[in-house]
Amino acid sequence: MAYRVKEIFYTLQGEGAQAGRPAVFCRFSGCNLWSGRPEDRATAKCRFCDTDFVGADAGVFATAEELAQTIAATFPVLAPQAYGGRKPYIVFTGGEPALQLTRELIDRLHALGFELGVESNGTLPLPEGLDWITVSPKGSNPLATTSGHELKLVWPQQGCSPEDFEDLDFRHFLLQPCDDPRNKANTRECIAYCLLHPRWSLGLQTHKWVGVR
């Protein structure tokens, strides 16, 4: 299959339990919950997305090998001693990465020595072999992926509440304030909820604070 990629860039992970970790992000084009066009937002299954995933600005890659080599070349340093025992980290995101992510690409990047994470809305099955799975539910859309490393709920949002997900098999449960005009109030509500429900931790978009992508 051909892989359509919006952007590939090196930065610090800004969200979740891996926040602060250097990583290359591979943002796939397309999503199954919204077209990405502003005129369709009112009828979208996800209405608060803050990401541009339309188009293939980073290229269309004919093979997993071609994309894997392009991702690897984005790292400024790959010497093992630079990572202190850790592996260089790649995050697949979107849009919805499950639309394009394949086991072939995962296996090729593992063979090159990378650790692989994914950020998914959870509504589509993910291929096996990923090292870190983040699911971010969107409204009442049913989940196909119900286990992983972290569940990140943007809150408040219509159609779901934290209680809906507490029986799922995730290591970390993160409540992230919705970044809309009510952001300060949303943050206060998330803090209050976490204090009363300590299974949940407050999730913040730290990359926006420090000015990285």
Residue pLDDT, tens place only, 138-150 = 999 999 999 999 9
pLDDT over 70 percentage in the chain? 100
The verdict on whether residue 124 carries a ligand-binding annotation is no
The interaxial angle of helices 103-111 and 64-74, nearest 10 deg, is: 50
**What pLDDT, on the 0 to 100 scale, is given for residue 47?**
78
Considering its fold, how many domains does the chain have in total?
1
The b/e string for 10-28 (b: 16+ C-beta within 10 A; e otherwise) is beebbbbbbeeebbbbbbb
Residue 212 to residue 186: CA distance in whole angstroms: 23
Q: Which residues are catalytic?
A: 25, 31, 46, 49-51, 119, 207
- pLDDT surpasses 90 at 45: no
Indicate which CATH number applies to the domain containing 153.
3.20.20.70
Q: Give 52-110 pLDDT, tens digit per residue.
A: 899 999 999 999 999 999 999 999 999 999 999 999 999 999 999 999 999 999 999 99
pLDDT tier, 44 (very low <50, low <70, confident <90, very high otherwise): confident
Query: Confidence class of residue 157 from pLDDT cuts 50, 70 and 90?
Result: very high
Q: What is the pLDDT of residues 174-204, one digit of tens each?
A: 999 998 888 899 999 999 999 999 999 999 9
26 is in an annotated binding site: no
Q: Is 137 annotated as a binding residue?
A: yes
Distance CA 169, CA 148 (A): 7
The whole-angstrom separation of Cα 146 and Cα 116 is 19
pLDDT of residue 208: 85
Q: What is the pLDDT of residue 136?
A: 98
Q: Which residue type, as a one-letter code, is found at position 11? A: T
What residue numbers bound the domain in which 141 lies? 3-210
Q: Which residues pair with 12 in a beta bridge?
A: 22
Is 194 annotated as contributing to ligand binding?
no
Tokens describing residue 69: 């080599």
Confidence category of residue 127, pLDDT binned at 50, 70, 90 = very high
What's residue 41's pLDDT?
Answer: 87
Confidence of residue 43 (pLDDT cuts 50, 70, 90): confident
